[in-house]
């Protein structure tokens, strides 16, 4: 266990100046900044609507977040954490350290997992701050009159659980393929397929459709934290982690 924590710390050290780490910080700030600006400069329009501004804000964010931003971010993180080793040709160095192979693989996976969690939490936190700042700066919109942030936070958690399947597939593809084109190209194609086919009866079995379907659940206020697509996403995560570990062992043997 101690070796796992050391390997995880090492992943954080290695992530300095990487795309994944930078994106985790600036992308939520960029999204929250834009949504804040939209409400700030169009406050009169939103005030006239007389609706729950938290709900309007979340709908604005989730539309793009579910279809593109979150799946793409998961792809970037999965790619970037593996690419660090591919570019340095450092896998073999890692596997000659006195570490169990599982600790090496698990630490890398856990690091990427934590980045996506951090991304979700930061964006969720910034949305909360933006709403509260608007409650003070633009009270006419009415953020202070509604208490629906809990629902939004719940859906951030659902999105996070739902994107785990995409992340796990992308992590495996990026571990196996050294280049950018194949894992990210395949991921992009599958994301588009997920968005188009999300309404299909069996789309809950397709992890790339999960976040789009969760967004629909938000519109319909279906609060269940573990709907079918989330369960499939989590089962896929477990299965793909084990397959990935098998690849680690196979990499040693071939």
Partner 1 sequence: MNQNIIETENLSFAYSSGQPVLHQLSLQVKQGAIYGFIGQNGAGKTTAIKVLLTLLDRYEGQVRAFGADIREKRLEILSRIGSLVEEPGLYHHLTGWENIVNRALLLKLPKSRAQEVIRQVGLHDARHKKVNAYSQGMRQRLGIGLALLGAPELLILDEPTNSLDPNGIREVRELLTQLATNGTTIFLSSHVLSEVEKIVSDIGIIHQGRLLFQGPIASLREKAREEAFLDTSDNQRCREILEQEGLQASQSGQKLNLGSIGREEASRINALLVGQRLKVYALEWSRKSLEQLFFEITNSPEAL
> In the complex, which residues of this chain contact partner 1 (CB under 8 A)?
6-7, 9-10, 13-14, 16-18, 84-85, 87-100, 252-254
CB of 84 or CB of 193, closer to partner 1: 84
Minimal distance, residue 140 CB to partner 1, in Å: 48
CB of 7 or CB of 70, closer to partner 1: 7
Lookup: tokens for 42 = 């169009």
CB of 99 or CB of 128, closer to partner 1: 99
Lookup: tokens for 87 = 């570019």
Minimal distance, residue 89 CB to partner 1, in Å: 5
CB of 50 or CB of 96, closer to partner 1: 96
Alpha-carbon gap, residue 174 to 186, rounded angstroms: 10
Minimal distance, residue 112 CB to partner 1, in Å: 17
CB of 85 or CB of 229, closer to partner 1: 85
Lookup: tokens for 248 = 């680690």
CB of 51 or CB of 102, closer to partner 1: 102
Minimal distance, residue 86 CB to partner 1, in Å: 10
Lookup: tokens for 91 = 């896998």
Minimal distance, residue 174 CB to partner 1, in Å: 17
Minimal distance, residue 90 CB to partner 1, in Å: 3
CB of 95 or CB of 177, closer to partner 1: 95
3-state SS string for 11-72:
HHHHCCCCHHHHHHHHHHHHHHHHHHHHHHHCHHHHHHHCCCHHHHHHHHHHHHHHHHHHHH
Minimal distance, residue 16 CB to partner 1, in Å: 6
């Amino acid at each position: 266990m101690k070796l796992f924590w050391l390997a995880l710390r090492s992943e954080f050290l290695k992530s300095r100046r990487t795309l994944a780490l930078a994106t985790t910080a600036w992308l939520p700030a960029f999204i929250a900044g834009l949504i804040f600006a939209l409400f700030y400069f169009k406050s009169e329009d939103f005030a006239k609507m007389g609706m729950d501004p938290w709900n309007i804000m979340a709908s604005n964010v989730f539309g793009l977040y579910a279809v593109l931003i979150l799946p793409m971010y998961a792809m970037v993180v999965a790619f970037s954490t593996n690419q660090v080793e591919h570019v340095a040709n450092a896998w073999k160095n890692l596997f000659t350290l006195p570490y169990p192979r599982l600790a090496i693989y698990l630490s890398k996976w856990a690091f990427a997992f934590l980045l996506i969690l951090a991304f979700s939490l930061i964006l969720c936190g910034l949305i909360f701050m933006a709403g509260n700042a608007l409650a003070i700066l633009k009270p006419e919109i009415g953020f202070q009159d509604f208490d629906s942030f809990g629902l939004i936070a719940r859906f951030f958690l659902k999105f996070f659980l739902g994107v785990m399947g995409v992340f796990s597939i992308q992590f495996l593809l990026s571990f196996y393929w050294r280049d950018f084109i194949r894992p990210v190209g395949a991921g992009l194609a599958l994301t588009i397929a997920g968005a188009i086919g999300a309404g299909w009866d069996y789309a809950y079995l397709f992890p790339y459709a999960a976040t789009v379907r969760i967004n629909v659940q938000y519109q319909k206020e279906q609060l269940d934290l573990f709907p079918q697509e989330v369960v499939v996403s989590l089962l896929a995560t477990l299965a793909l982690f084990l397959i990935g570990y098998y690849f680690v062992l196979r990499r040693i043997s071939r």
